[in-house]
Amino acid sequence: MAAFDLIIKGGVVSTASDTFKSDIGVKDGRIVALGESLDGGAQEIDARDKHVLPGGIESHCHIEQESATGAMTSDDYYTGSVSAAFGGNTTIIPFAAQHRGERIPDVLRTYHDRAAPKSVLDYSYHLIVTEPTEAALNEDLPRAFEEGITSFKVFMTYDKMIVSDEMFLDILVAAREHGALTMVHAENNAMIKWMVKRLIAKGHTSARYHAISHPEASEVEAIGRAAHLAGFVDAPLLIVHVSTDAGARIVANARLEGQKLFGETCPQYFFLTRGDLDRPGAEGAKFCCSPPLRDEATQQALWRHLQAGTFQLFSSDHAPYRFDESGKLSAGPNPPFNRMANGMPGIELRAPLLFSEGVNKGRITLNQFVALTATNAAKMFGLHPKKGTIAIGADADLAIWDPGLEREVTAASMHDNMDYTPFEGMQLTGWPVTVISRGEVIIEGGELKAERGRGRFLKRAPFAVVGYEAGPAPELDSARNFGATLL
């Protein structure tokens, strides 16, 4: 009998901390050996001149999810996970969205039914909470945490999703108590609505006004408020899709102060600008996302934040709505900006974009790339060290990258269920060529080898970070922000 089911030979292995030349021996879906000249594999892959990296963990993507406007994403768990796999990912954590009036156990059942028969990758969900009732806080959320769903998202904007600051505090405390991580979409709802009303009244309806109606100040105010709320109850908080320098500085400063505040950013804020919203006709709708695209100066600032460690995560925020009546144009062929579905696709490109423009252009190291696309997500979302690294005992979730492979981005070459990519025409160098999930080769030679539904639900561990213990929020007089007893 062969010593290993699979050996990956001769590659340069990188983790979030180290880069070294090593073979990788895989048995029963896990990494069991790292060493020079391993022998005895039932299957062997030649990885000479290639990088062998942990499979990416895409922890911000919207798959088979109804949006705030009711539109359904174009990708289901099959096309979404296949597209993610072609982009070098081996785990996805999309959202399970509670819409008002829905009980959380029903929401989770719906998403299990959607994901289990289709996903080719291992998966979990973050729960979007829109109605933190007593039953939700005291029964449903604790049950979800027990089932291994240890993170969730709240919205500070969108009339149909928004929670008040008081509700936000309730959720932060419930999460703290059960060892979960709260994520927040931080934009000031009132500022946006105030702008939208005035712009539409003046007849300013084209896509470019989407960015104007979501000013930087709206994000900055909301990130600041969210940071204060989380600090007040000493709860960890992840600010997702940060798009501004000033917003990122709030995250960086809070971290300097010792707060458990984390930041995520996305490729669209690095490679596109609000100028893209000016494309002719309704084309600008393709570039409509929230927070909106910004300017070149912001792109440079965000690179600096990425280099300096402000952001722990670089996620796609894949929110695919086709450029037709099922998605972007559901309100007609030339919809006003406030009726265009928000979001854009990118699950297949987030890692190649960062590899090409970040690693290959010398902006970040390969180890930073691994941390931003895999290891940090595994740590923050309770999957490490099973996922997100290359180590003895870890799942053999690997992506083999050809660092010199050049390809042009086209919508036709993507594997999602979309009819456009906002990154069309970009020339990228460095692509994943072989993807392995739990020891099984799922992408090779440009072809999918995975069976529909092979992905497994991942029961995640509670959120953990040095210097923080889950449990009731601290007595008010024992924490730096407080002066009386909280609970």
- Which residues bind to ligand URP, rule: CB under 6 A? 62, 185, 241, 289-290, 317, 319, 342-343
Query: Which residue's CB is nearer to ligand URP, number 241 or number 328?
Result: 241
Tokens 């991942």 correspond to: 458
- Please state, in angstroms and rounded to a whole number, the distance separating the CA atoms of residues 218 and 229: 17
Least separation, in Å, of the C-beta of 374 and ligand URP? 21
Minimum distance from CB of 47 to ligand URP (Å)? 35
Q: From the CB of 61, what's the least distance to Zn ion, in Å? A: 8
Largest CA distance in the chain: 75
Q: Locate 148 and state its tokens.
A: 């291994």
CB of 162 to ligand URP, least distance (A): 12
Which of 274, 146, 119, 128 is closest to 207 using CA atoms?
274
Find, among 408, 442, 448, the residue nearest to 424 by Cα: 408
Q: How far is the CB of 311 from Zn ion (least distance, A)?
A: 15
Give how many residues touch Zn ion by CB under 5 A. 2
User: Choosing among ligand URP, Zn ion, none, which partner's interface includes residue 438 (Cβ < 5 to 8 Å by kind)?
Assistant: none
Token pair 């670089």 in the structure block, residue: 314
Residue 318 interaction partner, one of ligand URP, Zn ion, none, beta carbon < 5-8 Å per kind: none
Round to whole Å and give the CA distance between 471 and 71. Answer: 38
> Which residue lies nearer to Zn ion by CB, 185 or 386?
185
Residue 289 partner contact from Zn ion, ligand URP, none using kind-dependent CB cut-offs of 5 to 8 Å: ligand URP
Q: Nearest approach, Cβ of 250 to Zn ion (angstroms)?
A: 17
Residue of the chain from 178, 185, 260, 294 that contacts Zn ion (CB under 5 A): 185
Q: Which is nearer to Zn ion, 125 or 401 (CB)?
A: 125
HEC string for 447-461: EECCCCCCCCECCCC
User: Which of ligand URP, Zn ion, none does 210 bind, CB closer than 5 to 8 A by kind?
Assistant: none
81: partner contacted, choices Zn ion, ligand URP, none (Cβ within 5-8 A by kind): none
Contacts of 139 (CB under 8 A, 6+ apart): none
Nearer to ligand URP, 81 or 316 (CB): 316
Closest to ligand URP by CB, 31 or 223: 223
Give the Cα separation of 348 and 91 in Å (integer).
Answer: 13
Q: At what angle do helices 216-232 and 165-178 cross, to 10 degrees?
A: 50
The smaller minimum CB distance to ligand URP, of residues 62 and 286, is found at 62
* Least distance to ligand URP, CB of residue 319, Å: 4
Question: Is 317 or 357 the residue whose CB approaches ligand URP more closely?
Answer: 317
Contact call for residues 23 and 38 (beta carbons, < 8 A): yes
Nearer to ligand URP, 279 or 452 (CB): 279
Contact (Cβ atoms closer than 8 angstroms) between residue 381 and residue 413: no
Q: Which does 342 bind (CB under 5 to 8 A by kind): ligand URP, Zn ion, none?
A: ligand URP
Alpha helices in 14-140 (DSSP H): 77-86, 104-115, 134-135
- Smallest distance, ligand URP to C-beta of residue 470, A: 26
418 touches, from Zn ion, ligand URP, none (C-beta below 5 to 8 Å by class)? none
For Zn ion, which stretch binds (CB under 5 A), given 5-13, 20-28, 182-190, 437-445? 182-190
Cβ proximity to Zn ion, 91 vs 389, nearer residue: 91
Cβ nearer to ligand URP, comparing 13 with 240? 240
Q: What is the Cα–Cα distance from 440 to 423, expressed in whole angstroms? A: 30
Given a contact cutoff of 8 angstroms between Cβ atoms, the answer to whether 289 and 342 are in contact is: yes
Q: How wide is the angle at C-alpha 84 spanned by C-alphas 440 and 316, nearest 5°?
A: 145
Using an 8 Å Cβ cutoff, are 48 and 11 in contact? yes
Residues 6+ apart with CB under 8 A from 356: 428, 429, 430
The CB-of-240 to Zn ion minimum distance in angstroms stands at 6
Partner that binds at residue 244, options Zn ion, ligand URP, none, CB closer than 5 to 8 Å by kind: none
At residue 154, φ and ψ (nearest 5 deg) are -120, 160
Q: Which residue is nearest to Zn ion (CB)?
A: 185
CB of 285 to ligand URP, least distance (A): 12
Amino acid letter, 463: F
CA distances from 477 to 145, 382, 473 (A): 29, 31, 11
Q: Which is nearer to ligand URP, 162 or 391 (CB)?
A: 162
Distance CA 220, CA 139 (A): 34
The counts of H helices and E strands in the chain are: 14, 18
Site string for Zn ion, 300-339 (x = CB under 5 A): -----------------x----------------------
Distance of CA 365 to the CA centre of its chain: 20
352 makes contact, choosing from ligand URP, Zn ion, none, with CB < 5 to 8 Å by partner type, with none
Q: How far is the CB of 213 from ligand URP (least distance, A)?
A: 13
| 362: helix, strand or coil | coil
Amino acid at 434: T
Q: Which residues bind Zn ion (CB under 5 A)?
A: 185, 317
